[in-house]
Amino acid sequence: MKVDVLIVGAGGAGLYAALSAAKEAKGLNIAVMSKVYPTRSHTGAAQGGINAALANVDPSDNEELHTFDTIKGSDYLADQNAVKYMCYEAPRIIREMEHMGVPFSRLNNGKIAQRPFGGASKDRTCYSADKMGHVMLHTLYEQCIKNDIKFLNEWFLLNIAHNGKRIQGVSAINIATGEIQFVKTKAVILATGGHSRIYWGYTSNALGCTGDGTAAVLRAGLPLKDMEFLQFHPTGLRKSAILVTEAARGEGGHLVNNVGERFMKKYAPEKMELGPRDLVSRSIMQEIREGRGFRDEEGREYVHLDLTHLGEKKIKERLPQIRELAIDFEGIDPIKEPIPIKPTAHYAMGGIDTNVKCETPLEGLYAAGEAQCVSVHGSNRLGGNSLLDIVVFGHVAGLEAVRYAEGADFAKGGTEIIENEKRRIEELMNKESKETLGDLRAELGEIMFKHFGVFKNESEMQEGYNKLKNLIERAHNNLGVEDKSKVFNLDLQATLEFFNLLDIADVLAYASLQRKESRGSFYRDDYPKRDDENYLYHSVITRNADGSYDYKKGEVDISLYAPAERKY
């Protein structure tokens, strides 16, 4: 198959890239490949909103304030001109989506409604009740259909092929038939999402958030950036870790410990529950550490998110999905009683190393969305900036990929990758499993949460890394595929996804051991202070053919605001 521009991933970044590419292209063949039907992509799980300095609630808000809040929230590891570009693009792109038909909630004057979110100095989070990602995803997909964009639905990315300088294409499985195919392409945009499923039972991410594009880039010998920075969202449901949106606190929800205290007054006296996510997550875990959390009959520890004072009308109007999730997964009606919550692995700040044009070091290969590290989130992302990131840089990636493809031909070669893929998958299909995929995945989640969780230290991380290396070896030696069929072999897909998770967990653990400071989402008990003198850099990691890592320090753009102490 030949495609001029191939977008891998059909979430918000992939769909916006496809739309922008289709509008820019002059006769190019553009296709979107997705392992799930597009409207099942993880963007649909985003609840609270998307940031833009529209100044609809507070006339004093502006793009410069949004830029500063984002840089401060990042703990000064974000590249500042990239942040500025994103924040200044935000109002335009929100209005563009409004004109596409995204059904934003409205103020009484008809303007787009905006609510307060953590780490923001103004009310700038645009929303649609608590289903912002869902309505965005469906609207963007409708627009793609309107623009006759080709979709390869239920195709699973295996690897990328290149000649050391240029992209040649990608290998993929057509899940419906089991065929392994090579797609020759001039340009590829990887919009494959995040990788928080390395925390398996302790994450808000969908089952498919297995970092497929990120792992493929690592295997291809290309750089990943800032992989040690993975955000824990403060409020996941106690039993399932399913997300409870930050909007619940933006609308006035209180975090309460077992003595009835709104404990955030000790940690962020000005912002309280609307401090940045890293700070609120650590505060919750500190309360639990010091014995002020609750414990259920199964030993799970948690605190309360109390919405009862908001009243039935407001909860049903502004937070209907949260109420439904609390009832379905906790047996709790938040109108009547507090929601039991704990931090949940939520978002990857690190990912595929790109510049502000979404370019990787490989010609013709681009990345956008959570798979990409540009870096606009640094060491900690502000709520409401993820949906903004995916559409702003999805748009950029679409334009840049088309401009490249218009002046390029198809690179020769690449098809030899297919024989390697067939051999690898045949070995998995023929191998007798000595351990089960479910047990190994659960063990991975336990290792990552215990040793690379909200709090870290040298000895625990080293112990965890040793356990992880053992798990990786056992998986490669003992794990096969039980289902021998070709058609819709989800056992094979889940096994390949697991190996992607192992690749990513390994590089995250390695990167974590190199950073001996605390910054944003990355907190070490043994190095509790931020160290700008020695660690104000992006970690850039490439995997060598022998499995070792090449670790480099990338410069951080601090040209707009000098790093300062972060207080809330």
Give pLDDT tens digits for 451-489: 999 999 999 999 999 999 999 999 999 999 999 999 999
- Omega of the bond leading into 60 within 30 degrees of 0 (cis): no
| Per-residue pLDDT at 27 | 87
Residue-wise pLDDT tens digits, 4-56: 999 999 999 999 999 999 999 888 999 999 999 999 999 999 999 999 999 99
CA 358 and chain centroid, separation:
16
Q: What angle do CA 30, 32, 33 make, to 5 degrees?
A: 135
* Residue 12 labeled ligand binder: yes
474 a known binding residue? no
Which residues does residue 538 pair with via DSSP β-bridges, in sequence order? 554
Tell me the three-class secondary structure of 106-175, residue by residue: ECCCCCECEECCCCCCCCCEECCCCCHHHHHHHHHHHHHHHCCCEEEECEEEEEEEECCCEEEEEEEEEC
Q: Do 19 and 103 form a contact (C-beta atoms < 8 A)? A: no
Q: What's the CA gap between 339 and 332, in Å, rounded?
A: 7
What pLDDT does residue 251 have? 93
Annotated binding-site residue? 245: yes
Q: Is the pLDDT assigned to residue 355 strictly greater than 90?
A: yes
| Pair 338, 304: CB distance under 8 Å | yes
Does 370 appear as a known binding residue?
yes
14 labelled as ligand-binding?
yes
What CATH number was assigned to the domain covering residues 1-44+133-229+349-567?
3.50.50.60
CATH architecture, domain 235-343? Alpha-Beta Complex (3.90)
- Round the average pLDDT of the chain to a whole number and report it: 96
34 labeled part of a ligand binding site: yes
E strand or H helix at 493: helix 490-514
- pLDDT, average across residues 375-399: 97
Average pLDDT over residues 298-314: 96
Distance CA 132, CA 46 (A): 6
User: pLDDT digit string (tens) for 515-565?
Assistant: 999 999 999 999 999 999 999 999 999 999 999 999 999 999 999 999 999
Strand partners, 171: 159, 182
Phi and psi at residue 145, to the nearest 5°:
-65, -45
pLDDT (mean) for 174-201: 97
Tokens representing residue 30 in the block: 């553009």
Active site residue 277: yes
- Cα separation of 313 and 322, whole Å? 14
Known binding residue 381? Answer is yes
pLDDT value at residue 26: 81
pLDDT in tens, 106-154: 999 999 999 999 899 999 999 999 999 999 999 999 999 999 999 999 9
Residues 6+ apart with CB under 8 A from 323: 315, 316, 333, 334, 335
Query: Is the predicted pLDDT of residue 366 greater than 90, yes or no?
Result: yes
Give the Cβ contact number of residue 427 at 10 Å.
11
Counting DSSP H helices and E strands in the chain, the numbers are 16, 20
User: 309 CB contacts (<8 Å, ≥6 apart)?
Assistant: 252, 254
Nearest Cα neighbor of 247 from 359, 325, 167 is: 325
Catalytic site residue from 238, 277, 441, 515: 277
* Dist CA 175 CA 307 (whole Å): 43
The pLDDT of 435-444, averaged and rounded, is: 96
Distance of alpha carbon 339 from alpha carbon 146, whole angstroms: 41
**End-to-end alpha-carbon separation of the chain, Å?**
53
SS3 per residue for 442-480? HHHHHHHHHHCCCCECHHHHHHHHHHHHHHHHHHHHHCC
Six-digit token string for 448: 């990552």
559 is in an annotated binding site: no
Share of the chain above pLDDT 70, in %: 100
Longest distance between any two alpha carbons in the chain, whole Å = 68
What are the domain boundaries of the chain?
1-44+133-229+349-567, 235-343
387 labelled ligand-binding:
yes
550 CB-contact burial (10 Å; exposed 0-12 / middle 13-18 / buried 19+): exposed
The answer to whether 27 is annotated as binding is no
> Three-state DSSP class for 352?
strand
Percent of the chain with pLDDT over 90: 99
